[in-house]
Amino acid sequence: MRSPVLFICLGVAACGGGDGATVAGTFAPGSGLVPTGVWVVEAERSEPADSSGFEVSGLTPGPVTLRLMQGADTAAILDVENLPTGATLRLLGLRADPDTRLAFPQSVELGGADIVRVNGVRLAPEGRVPREVDVPATVLGYAPDAGALLVRPGDADLPDLRVVIGMATEIVGASGPVDAASLQPGDSVRVEGRSERGYVVASRISLPLSTALLDTPLESTGSSASTDDDDRGGEPAGGGGGDDGGDGGTAASPAPAPVVRSDPPGRGRGNGNGRGEEKGRGRGKKPKN
């Protein structure tokens, strides 16, 4: 499950006027992200940034690539795929994967659109996740240290789901209990559970017969599909710490956002190294790779 991330490289999008889209962001405490600027790759345009965050407006609708800069070095990358006209996307609590420099938020605020793709992951405000979840999905990645799966529902109207695997979660295949660590990117699963602050606390994860032949029973691995609650502390990736709208139940401790170490479906064209095309001469200083 630890294959390198192959994220979506986006096509060229120019800088627009006042009716364009806006992307803003803040950084999670302790993330180490303290950029000095934001480089809009396709427009070769630089905008200010600091520890309080950044805001880039006047973006032509469509794909855009932002590079968060520390001096002349790229600290993090944000590839935003499908911004419509007038959309406003706020990425709250950004953290960057140290291996890939791809940044993912703890939660999002989105106006003018239902779902947006950031670094290949479908994101939406927590209100887009139904309270009761029972969906077929495809595994995108698993974070064993967080005890969480990232899955893509078959319903295109839903964002990708961060699924907490707790001690009470059943993970079953045709031959019986299955270790979560045996799940691979591309596996088909059915996720049942309840959403809590943008996360899905899973009650049952089942594998269909077509993939159950590859199941690894718990007896053969000696590992458990659950982790201690202490390992899953912190603010949830999909929730931003808001009211979960529950009905008196006890919410499981949410896990940090799982790092996607697979290639989500729908990869666009690009050179795969996280850098947009840099042709022409812009007003900002070009970053070093």
Residues 116 and 36 both lie in one domain: yes
CA angle centred on 240, ends 238 and 244, rounded to 5°: 80
* CATH number where 101 lies: 2.60.40
Are 74 and 143 contained in the same domain?
Answer: no
* 207 assigned to some structural domain: yes
Q: Which of 96, 123, 150 is the last residue in one of the domains?
A: 123
CA atoms within 13 A on the CB side of 219: 2
Question: What is d(CA 234, CA 244) in angstroms, rounded to the nearest whole number?
Answer: 15
- 145 lies in the same domain as 47: no
Co-location of 119 and 131 in the same domain: no
- Rounded CA-CA distance 48/243 in Å is 32
Q: 123, 138, 158: which is the final residue of a domain? A: 123
Are both 215 and 173 inside the same structural domain? yes
Which pLDDT value is given to residue 286?
Answer: 52
Whole-Å CA distances, 27 to 7, 49, 81, 94, 142: 21, 11, 21, 5, 23
- Which parts of 71-182 are beta strand (E)? 73-83, 88-96, 103-104, 107-111, 116-118, 121-123, 132-143, 148-153, 161-164, 170-173, 176-177
Give the model's pLDDT for residue 288.
53
Count of structural domains, the chain: 2
Residue 241 covered by a domain: no
So what's the pLDDT on residue 289?
A: 53
Residues 70 and 50 in one domain: yes
- Confidence (pLDDT) at 209: 56
Question: What tens-digit pLDDT sequence spans the chain (289 residues)?
Answer: 333 232 222 222 223 334 789 999 999 998 888 899 999 988 789 999 999 999 999 998 888 999 999 999 999 999 999 888 899 999 999 999 989 999 999 999 999 999 999 999 999 999 899 999 999 999 999 988 888 999 999 999 999 999 999 999 999 998 899 999 899 999 999 999 999 988 999 999 999 854 444 444 433 333 333 344 444 444 434 444 444 444 433 333 343 444 443 344 344 434 444 444 444 444 445 555 5
Supply the CATH number for residue 157's domain.
2.40.50.320
- For 96, the domain range is 21-123
Give this prediction's pTM: 0.65
Whether 187 maps to a domain, the answer reads: yes
Please, are residues 103 and 119 in contact by the beta-carbon 8 Å criterion?
yes
The dihedral formed by the CA atoms of 130, 131, 134 and 136, expressed in degrees to the nearest 10: 30
C-alpha to C-alpha distance for 9 and 260, rounded to whole angstroms: 15
CA 227 distance to own-chain centroid: 21
Domain stop point among 61, 93, 123: 123
SS3 label, residue 62: strand
Shared domain check, 153 and 89: no
Q: Is residue 271 domain-resident? A: no
